[in-house]
Structure 1
Amino acid sequence: MEIVNANSATLSNFEVMKHLQRIKDSRKKHKGQLATITYETLRYLENTPCAQQSPQSITECLKDLEPFNLNKNEKLMLINSPPTTALEIQLMIEESEERLTEEQVEQILQIVLQHFPHIQKSQENETTEEQE
């Protein structure tokens, strides 16, 4: 297989999950490897933050992130793995220490939490499980 244009399109986990759900729900049943890949990928994605996202929440989050001059890949990472700490933002945004102030990092965390409130709940559940 040859990759013709590696940057022609980048999909979020949410978009991949919805597309695979449409494939799974289509009348034409796929057999073999495609069915297995679809099933395994859906099973994985349904346990990630994208399962709780909506097209509206993603669109609104991206609009609110516009003032920070993030590139497409950085925005994609923020959507696919919504950060809950400043450290996670440093790992996702290239040269974040030079590009963003501490206040801007806090603003990004608040924007992400505002549009994806489920991430705080899942983080609290993980913390509770670790303490037990």
Structure 2
Amino acid sequence: MKILEANAGALTNFEVLDFLRTKGASKDPTRVIAKVAQSEYKVYDYLVDTAASDQTRESINEFLTSIKQHDLAKAEVLNILNTRPAAEVELFPIIESCEGRLPDEEVTEIVELVTRTLPPPPSMKQEEITKVDEETATLKNENDEVLLNYERVIIFLNSSKFTLPSPSASCVAPLPWSFSIPAPPSTPSAPRTRSSRRRSCRTC
């Protein structure tokens, strides 16, 4: 093999991992028969758990093409590609003087570009799966507890023969006071005098 240009540039983690895979490095227990040095296996075991594990040449090319619109150094682009920052706070130690060079909107755009073009590392996928499993287990426990309480209520009602009282007069509680409406006073009739009797007789 002839070296055309020495120190042409830094390699990405994906390129190193892809090179080791072509040599036969893998998680296969029979990998001892591959022509891979023990030190190279240590590098492979580290890189296979990073973001480079699921990256492809197409995704890397798409990222490199889109990142050109941002004023970043080659070393900064390389570190972003290797570490795949998924939040704005993860970009500050990668980009030198990030707060002074880039506005907040541009930092957000870079993070969105990374998450859109580069796949997440296996560790992040496992964390998401674990989180979903925990949420599912919590929801299942809550549903089981509701069903258990419902069964307890049904058992209590059946054992005590609990019945709702019928709406009758006996269920109406008496008022704490009583009152009666007095009858209107009767007007006494005027006594009839002798003269009135005489007038009535004359009229007759």
Instruction: Please indicate, yes or no, whether the TM-score normalized by the shorter chain is above 0.5.
Output: yes
- The answer to whether structure 1 residue 39 and structure 2 residue 29 are counterparts is no
Partner of 1:109: 111
- The answer to whether structure 1 residue 95 and structure 2 residue 94 are counterparts is no
Change (3 A) 1:14 1:106: same
Pick the structure with greater CA Rg: 2
Instruction: Give the distance between the partners of 1:121 and 1:43, measured in 2 at CA.
Output: 13
Instruction: Give the distance between the partners of 1:120 and 1:54, measured in 2 at CA.
Output: 14
- Structure 1 residue runs of 5 or longer lacking an equivalent are 1-5
Aligned residues: 120
Partner of 1:75: 77
Change (3 A) 1:24 1:122: same
- Structure 2 residue runs of 5 or longer lacking an equivalent are 1-5, 26-32, 135-204
Instruction: Give the distance between the partners of 1:72 and 1:47, measured in 2 at CA.
Output: 24
Q: CA deviation at 1:124?
A: 7.4
- The answer to whether structure 1 residue 21 and structure 2 residue 21 are counterparts is yes
Instruction: Give the distance between the partners of 1:103 and 1:125, measured in 2 at CA.
Output: 28
Partner of 1:58: 60
Per-residue CA deviation, residues 54-97 of structure 1 (Å, 9 max, x unaligned), is: 01101101111111111110000000000011111111001111
Percent of aligned positions that are identical: 31
Q: CA deviation at 1:117?
A: 3.8
Mapped contact 1:74–1:93 kept (Cα < 8 A): yes
Change (3 A) 1:83 1:7: same
Structure showing the higher helix proportion among its residues: 1
Partner of 2:172: none
Q: CA deviation at 1:41?
A: 1.1
Instruction: Give the distance between the partners of 1:59 and 1:75, measured in 2 at CA.
Output: 12
SS at match of 1:106: helix
Partner of 1:11: 11
Change (3 A) 1:110 1:119: farther
Instruction: Give the distance between the partners of 2:82 and 2:21, measured in 1 at CA.
Output: 17
Mapped contact 2:14–2:53 kept (Cα < 8 A): yes
Q: CA deviation at 1:16?
A: 0.3
- When the two chains are superposed, the root-mean-square deviation of aligned CA atoms in Å is 2.9
Partner of 1:3: none
Instruction: Give the distance between the partners of 1:47 and 1:93, measured in 2 at CA.
Output: 24
Mapped contact 2:86–2:111 kept (Cα < 8 A): yes
SS at match of 1:90: coil
RCO greater where, 1 or 2, for CA within 8 Å and sep 6 or more? 1
The more displaced of 109-118 and 71-80 is: 109-118
Q: CA deviation at 1:99?
A: 1.1
Dislocated runs of 4+, deviation >3 Å = none
Instruction: Give the distance between the partners of 2:121 and 2:79, measured in 1 at CA.
Output: 14
